Homo-oligomer: A and B are copies of this chain.
Amino acid sequence: MSVTYPKGFRTNGVSAGLRRNGNPDLALIVNDGPLQAAAGVLTSNRVFAAPVAWCREVLAGGTAHAVVVNSACANACTGPAGLADAKAEAALVAELEGCPQGEVLVSSTGIIGQRLEMDKMTAGIRAAHAGLATGADADDVASRSIMTTDTHPKTTAQEFDGARFGGIAKGAGMLAPQLATMLVFITTDAVVESADLQKALAPAADVTFSRVDSDACMSTNDTVIVLASGASGVTLSPERLQEALTAVSADLARQLVGDAEGSHHDVLVQVNRASSTQAAVAVAREVSRSNLVKTAIAGNDPNWGRILSAVGCVPASVAPFDPDQVDVRLNGVTICRGGMIGEDRSLVDMTGREVHIEIDLAAGDASGHIWTNDLTHEYVEENSAYTS
């Protein structure tokens, strides 16, 4: 179960014919209420797709009845015509559901710079709407409809004090700093207003989706949407709601890292004893973006010199620390101590899927992390062969 695990939601996914391989490529999620609260975090790329522009309008209105999502085509860099296409999708769902067009969210992922095939979209939306349902099968096909290069769907279902949360996500590549073609749709039957939902979502996304940096590339279409139906009758405290959304987001974010394009390792870069959280995250991000670190990990090489070299690229104004005080621990072995050679690198076991890099800056009490992946032949293969 995922998006219909909370009460008040129906979903479906169909093959609209957008993907050449005939796999499901269009999903619809409908919120039957009683509430239709919504919140979202969208890409901060200045080049953003038409559906992102439309979502901003809908979210500003504070009410969302449904979200329609397609894969295979990002509807990005398509100009006014692309925006008209996104609005036409919303209008069709609105007509079918009997709600205002301005209450239908639209989301797309896939190739940039191509128009949507609107005849296929129209037929697909009608078919998806006709089969809206609750339960495992509906959730499963919805989660598979939003996939691009993902090798499997990502889902979650969790309960907090009687309120349920469900979610689906896609994004095997382009997971990035401020999110990146990552689409995430979370549902909940908690009772909450849109403004409070947004207040809880933003910090939750900040410590989960924004701490995933697979290849440092930020997409034009990144979208995290939360829909709340209120159908459980349960109201969570603001703190508890944020806790719940953080847990749900962390679960999905971790699954996204685990399926990043061509990766062999999931890499946690944990920075401790930093002067601030911002400094810790900046150092973690610099390390997570170093192609030399990432290729070393792909080769199971405990190359702390490359890690330390990346750490040294962070300006002192961003992260004050003394390079001669920095320790680096790799899978528990302190291979670099005080900026110099530490324990024997042959002690480091790099064979597991997870690699833990711990950097101790000896500069304060704050900490922060980034999840990233190694850089492999398969990453190059997928991204040199696949037009997106």
Contacts and interface: CB of A to CB of B under 8 A. Distances in A.
Q: What is the oligomeric copy number?
A: 2
B79 A339 contact: yes
Nearest to A326: B47
B290 A77 contact: no
B380 A376 contact: yes
B323 A46 contact: yes
Contacts of A306: 112, 217, 388
Given A298-B380, A383-B295, A388 B77 contact: no
Contacts of A313: 45-46, 217-218
Interface in A41-76: 45-48, 74, 76
Interface string A352-388: 0000000000000000000000011101110111011
Contact of A295 (B111, B309, B341, B379): B379
B387 A381 contact: no
A139 interface: no
A215 interface: yes
Contacts of A33: none
A249 interface: no
A280 interface: no
A230 to B, nearest CB: 36
Given A77-B340, A292-B174, A301-B387, A309 B380 contact: no
A106 interface: no
Interface residues of A, number: 61
Given A323-B46, A323-B47, A217 B310 contact: yes
A296 interface: yes
A340 B375 CA distance: 31
A296 B388 CA distance: 9
B78 A309 contact: no
A336 interface: yes
A174 B292 CA distance: 8
A331 interface: no
A42 to B, nearest CB: 13
Contact of A304 (B113, B216, B305, B316): B113
Interface in A284-332: 289-292, 295-296, 298-299, 301, 303-306, 308-314, 316, 323-324, 326
A334 interface: no
B341 A78 contact: yes
Interface string A71-92: 0001011110000000000000
A219 interface: yes
A53 B287 CA distance: 23
A74 B341 CA distance: 13
A119 to B, nearest CB: 19
A303 B47 contact: no
A220 interface: yes
Nearest to A381: B377
By Cβ-Cβ distance, the 10 closest A-B pairs, closest first, are: A112-B305, A299-B384, A47-B312, A295-B383, A46-B312, A45-B312, A79-B340, A113-B305, A298-B384, A295-B384
Interface of A: 45-48, 74, 76-79, 111-114, 173-174, 215-220, 289-292, 295-296, 298-299, 301, 303-306, 308-314, 316, 323-324, 326, 336, 338-341, 375-377, 379-381, 383-385, 387-388
